[in-house]
Amino acid sequence: MKPPSFAFVAADTDDAQQALVSLKARYESVSPEEAEVVVALGGDGFMLETLHGSIERGVPIYGMNCGTVGFLMNQFSDADLPGRLARAESVILNPLRMEVRCVDGKTVQALAINEVSLLRESRQAGTLRISVDGVVRIEEMVCDGILVATPAGSTAYNLSAHGSIIPIGAPLLALTPISAFRPRHWRGALLPNSAQVEIEVLDPSKRPVSATADYTEVRDVVRVLVHEDRSVSLNLLFDPEHNLEKRIIQEQFLP
């Protein structure tokens, strides 16, 4: 079987650029627009950028870590790349869709592969009302913010905010508060991935709040809707020994 054509894209760092030179010297590649597989060289941030850039084409992305964390990446090696691509296992991700209304009436939509997060913009905590599927679950939460995370994003910002890690195949979303003052003992919730989360900012003039979908930030929001968009699918490729599901399970037992 003929191996798939592939293209290289690399982060603007010394390690990623050196890896790009090494791989291009060893393998014939095509442009990203022609490729059947895109090989991304960098860290998790660059992988997110690459995934967002591939949404229109839906081309599989195979990452190799030339950054720091690299949770969504495979180990870097310039040996036997066609063989690694042939053996790679596919993980399909459905991103979150964020729909925002701002103080000035502007509306914005954006997709998030990891999470949608709301954060206070000023020295004062935000005051938020949280509804799930049209039912108010928290009438007023005083906090630094709140986030909705996918299984793939549950080991990122969600984990640092003490949210639950979700196995990659689980049909769940994590709803996690960020430094909640009231209700003080609420630690978040796991929701079905069919849920629609609505977050209202109760005092946007005195306590302004921003909303961010991965790296798309919107300032001075008054209402944010978040739901999983199953019409959009993203395809990540992993070496069998670096299976994403196994890595997420392992993450729950790290000291």
Look at residue 248 in the predicted model and tell me its pLDDT.
79
Upstream peptide bond of 183 is cis (omega within 30 degrees of 0): yes
Same domain for 32 and 141? no
Note whether residue 173 is domain-resident: yes
Task: Identify whether residues 118 and 237 lie together within a single domain.
Answer: no
pLDDT at 250: 79
pLDDT value at residue 1 = 63
CB 161 within 8 A of CB 147: yes
168 and 83 part of one domain: no
Q: Which of 44, 133, 144, 220 is catalytic?
A: 44
Split into its structural domains, the chain has a count of 2
Whether residue 181 contacts residue 174, with contact meaning beta carbons closer than 8 Å, is answered with no
Question: Does the residue 22 lie in any domain?
Answer: yes
pLDDT of residue 223: 98
- Active-site residue flag, 14: no
Contact of 176 with 150, CB cutoff 8 Å? no
> Domain range for residue 88?
6-93+233-251
Q: What pTM did the predictor assign?
A: 0.89
Confidence (pLDDT) at 251: 78
Q: Which residues, other chains included, contact 250 with Cβ-Cβ below 8 Å and sequence gap of 6+?
A: none
**One domain, residues 137 and 196:** yes
Asked whether residue 25 is assigned to any structural domain, the reply reads yes
Residue 193 corresponds to which tokens in the numbers above? 């991935």
User: How far, CA to CA in Å, does 165 sit from each of 6, 57, 71, 132, 188?
Assistant: 32, 30, 13, 20, 12
- Kindly state whether residues 182 and 158 are assigned to the same domain: yes
Q: Average pLDDT across each block of 10 residues of the chain; the chain has 255 residues. List them in order.
A: 87 96 96 95 93 90 89 92 93 96 97 97 97 98 97 93 90 97 93 98 97 96 98 93 76 77
